[in-house]
């Protein structure tokens, strides 16, 4: 039965996977919409610079100061289209002849640094007849390819936006899946992991996944196009990079049982100090986060080295732990991907500095996420079995209320409390022998169950109730005793009048009570006093019946 159910669950997951692929195709596959003469003109070439030479917008003059480039456009070229471009770290104005039609000079708060990151622009060109000169006046904020136009076209803004969606969606979806997986792991850690070490391991892995997903997708034009703010994603990228060693070193150290080592605390301290110092430097000087980024890279490198050391040390000392091979492969993949991106950043001036990290991260999260979820399920199953066995051990099979073992356990807890005031109520069921002798043991069991229902439903709200013998019950009451006794007597009367229960002999319970005060009384003496009062009550009830 379990196997057939699992097949249907797998089929459901396949359907979900197919649906996600189809949704991705909506963004990634361009379908002709039947529009005639749709404008789409490449504007990257054909510009003239200040010195009269022909230039491409992809190869700007990044020297200090304002530079200009221009080209002639005709009304036939425009046809209601916009000048669409995406760029990074440029200040620029666009003129049609001498008319300013667009100006981009963002003013950033100082704690954002000097640069705003990637930005997409949709510049509307006013209608005109004949030909006019389109001029771009620009100033580079950074003397490298990090400050440049990356694309420029004459086309409908909606079509350009759709192109951005198509180009960026795969990257966005990849990071979103990792982000979702990380959040699921954090939630699972809080729900399933009762062991503190396992909790730390699972939650830190989830946080690491969330941070890496944010870092890998922070420069996406898709986010900028939706939020109309590229400075905040850049800030998220930088902060994530500075703090990333913290959950990484915590996860590996928890997995390899090195969580309390001094070098783990050192990496946490270094990362925290690096983040604070970065903000102070940027706030008080003219430097940007980018200028001191090498420090974050050094800390990440040291952290990865320590992660490798902890894994090797653990394997040599204790042998392979379940999931250790998976962890080793995952860390190596992330290390290679991260090292590759660092080389591309410093030596290739790559615009997408997280390309390899995204793929390495996805593989890492798939492998470790699978390992962690499998371990969580195993632990959860064991925990459920343990709780079930404990429940069976502490529950009376006939009545369903707590048994003598549970009473002993609760009794030990009471003895440990320094401040407690309660009432011990000892009870004994009358007429059980008569029920067994005249109507059979089935009727006797029925009477015991009725007594348990009466005691638990009336006194359970004021404390805890236990079946401590064949016809003996104990209640430890911490609520108001007067109200408890009224509820007890009322429920007994209701059961005796209940035709559905239909007892052959009336429900009658003798009881005795005694007050216990922690620090003043000895619990065993109070229980004995309540027991003696119960027997006195039983004698009086028996004498009353004889009269």
pLDDT, averaged across the chain: 81
Q: Higher-confidence residue: 14 or 96?
A: 96
pLDDT digits (tens, 9 = 90+) for 527-547: 999 999 999 998 888 776 555
Position 220 confidence tier, pLDDT thresholds 50, 70, 90: low
CA 192 – CA 296 distance, rounded (Å): 34
pLDDT of residue 84 exceeding 50: yes
Query: What is the sign of the dihedral through the CA atoms of 95, 97, 100 and 101?
Result: negative
Q: Which helix (H) or strand (E) holds 475?
A: strand 472-477
Q: Tell me the percentage of the chain whose pLDDT exceeds 90.
A: 20
Give the pair of three-digit tokens for residue 227: 């939020």
Q: Higher-confidence residue: 34 or 287?
A: 287
pLDDT of residue 29 exceeding 80: no
The pLDDT of residue 383: 67
Let me know how long the chain is.
547
From residue 342, give the alpha-carbon distance in Å to each of 305, 317, 353, 354, 355: 15, 33, 8, 9, 11
Position 35 confidence tier, pLDDT thresholds 50, 70, 90: very low
pLDDT digits (tens, 9 = 90+) for 481-520: 888 888 888 988 888 888 777 888 888 999 999 999 988 8
Q: How far is CA 290 from the centre of its chain?
A: 29
Residue that has been written with the tokens 């969330």 in this structure: 210
| Torsion, Cα of 163, 166, 172, 174 (10° steps) | -160
The pLDDT of residue 387: 73
- Report which listed range, 123-137, 199-213, 309-323, 325-339, is most confident: 123-137
Give the pair of three-digit tokens for residue 450: 């009725």
Average pLDDT over residues 228-248: 81
Position 94 confidence tier, pLDDT thresholds 50, 70, 90: very high
Phi, psi (degrees; rounded to nearest 5) at 507: -80, 120
Helical residues (DSSP H) of 285-354, grouped into ranges: 293-318, 324-347
pLDDT of residue 44 exceeding 80: yes
Residue 330: which of 280, 368, 292 has the closest Cα? 368
**Domain 42-155: which CATH class?**
mainly beta
From residue 215, give the alpha-carbon distance in Å to each of 242, 276, 291, 356, 362: 10, 19, 18, 12, 13
Residue that has been written with the tokens 């708060």 in this structure: 109
pLDDT of residue 77 exceeding 90: no
Enumerate the β-bridge partners of residue 103. 93
Architecture (CATH level 2) of domain 404-546: 2-Layer Sandwich (3.30)
CA 334 – CA 359 distance, rounded (Å): 9
Average pLDDT over residues 82-109: 89
pLDDT of residue 440 exceeding 80: yes
Position 34 confidence tier, pLDDT thresholds 50, 70, 90: very low
49 burial type by CB count under 10 A (0-12 exposed, 13-18 middle, 19+ buried): middle
Would you kindly state where each structural domain of the chain is located, as residue ranges?
1-29, 42-155, 170-387, 404-546
pTM comes to 0.58
pLDDT of residue 36 exceeding 50: no
The CATH code belonging to domain 170-387 is 1.20.1070
Average pLDDT over residues 260-281: 90
Name which of 104-108, 148-152, 318-322 the model is least confident about. Answer: 318-322
pLDDT of residue 114 exceeding 50: yes
Residue 211: which of 189, 173, 182, 185 has the closest Cα? 182
């Amino acid at each position: 039965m379990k196997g057939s159910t699992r097949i249907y669950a797998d089929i459901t997951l396949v359907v979900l996977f197919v649906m996600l692929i189809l949704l991705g195709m909506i963004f990634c596959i361009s379908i002709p919409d039947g529009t005639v003469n749709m404008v789409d003109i490449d504007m990257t070439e054909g510009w003239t610079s200040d010195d009269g030479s022909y230039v491409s917008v992809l190869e700007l003059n990044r020297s200090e100061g304002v530079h200009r480039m221009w080209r002639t456009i005709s009304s036939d070229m425009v046809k209601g289209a916009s000048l669409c471009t995406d760029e990074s770290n440029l200040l620029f104005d666009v003129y049609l002849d001498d008319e300013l039609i667009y100006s981009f000079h963002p003013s950033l708060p100082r704690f954002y640094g000097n640069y705003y990151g990637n930005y997409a622009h949709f510049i509307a060109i006013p209608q005109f007849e004949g030909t006019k000169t389109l001029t771009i006046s620009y100033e580079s904020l950074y003397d490298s390819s990090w400050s440049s136009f990356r694309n420029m076209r004459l086309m409908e803004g909606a079509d350009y936006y759709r192109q951005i969606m198509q180009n960026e969606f795969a990257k966005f979806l990849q990071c979103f899946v990792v982000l979702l997986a990380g959040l699921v792991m954090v939630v699972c850690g809080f729900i399933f992991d009762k062991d503190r070490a396992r909790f730390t391991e699972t939650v830190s892995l989830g946080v690491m996944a969330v941070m890496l997903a944010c870092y890998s997708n922070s420069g996406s034009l898709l986010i900028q196009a939706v939020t109309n703010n590229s400075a905040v994603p850049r800030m998220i990228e930088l902060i994530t990079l500075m703090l990333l060693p913290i959950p990484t070193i915590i996860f590996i150290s928890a997995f390899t049982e090195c969580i309390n080592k001094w070098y783990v605390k050192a990496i946490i301290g270094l990362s925290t100090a690096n983040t604070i110092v970065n903000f102070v430097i940027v706030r008080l000087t003219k430097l940007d986060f980018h200028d001191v980024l090498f420090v974050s890279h050094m800390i990440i490198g040291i952290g990865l080295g320590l992660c490798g050391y902890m894994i090797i040390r653990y394997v040599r000392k204790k042998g392979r732990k379940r999931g250790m091979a998976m962890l080793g492969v995952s860390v190596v993949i992330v290390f290679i991907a991260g090292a590759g991106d660092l080389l591309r950043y410093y030596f290739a001036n790559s615009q997408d500095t997280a390309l390899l990290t995204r793929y390495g991260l996805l593989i890492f999260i798939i492998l470790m996420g699978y390992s962690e979820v499998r371990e969580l399920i195993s632990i959860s199953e064991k925990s459920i079995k343990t709780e079930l066995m404990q429940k069976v051990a502490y529950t009376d099979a006939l009545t369903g209320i707590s048994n003598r073992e549970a009473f002993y356990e609760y009794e030990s807890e009471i003895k440990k409390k320094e401040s407690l005031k309660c009432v011990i109520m000892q009870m004994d069921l009358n007429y059980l022998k008569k029920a067994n002798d005249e109507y059979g043991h089935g009727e006797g069991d029925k009477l015991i169950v009725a007594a348990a229902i009466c005691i638990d439903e009336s006194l359970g709200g004021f404390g805890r109730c236990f079946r401590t013998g064949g016809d003996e019950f104990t209640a430890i009451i911490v609520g108001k005793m007067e109200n408890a006794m009224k509820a007890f007597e009322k429920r007994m009367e209701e059961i005796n009048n209940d035709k559905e229960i239909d007892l052959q002999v009336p429900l009658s319970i003798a009881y005795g009570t005694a007050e216990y005060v922690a620090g003043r009384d000895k619990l065993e003496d109070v229980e004995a006093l309540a027991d003696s009062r119960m027997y006195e009550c039983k004698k009086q009830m028996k004498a009353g019946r004889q009269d």
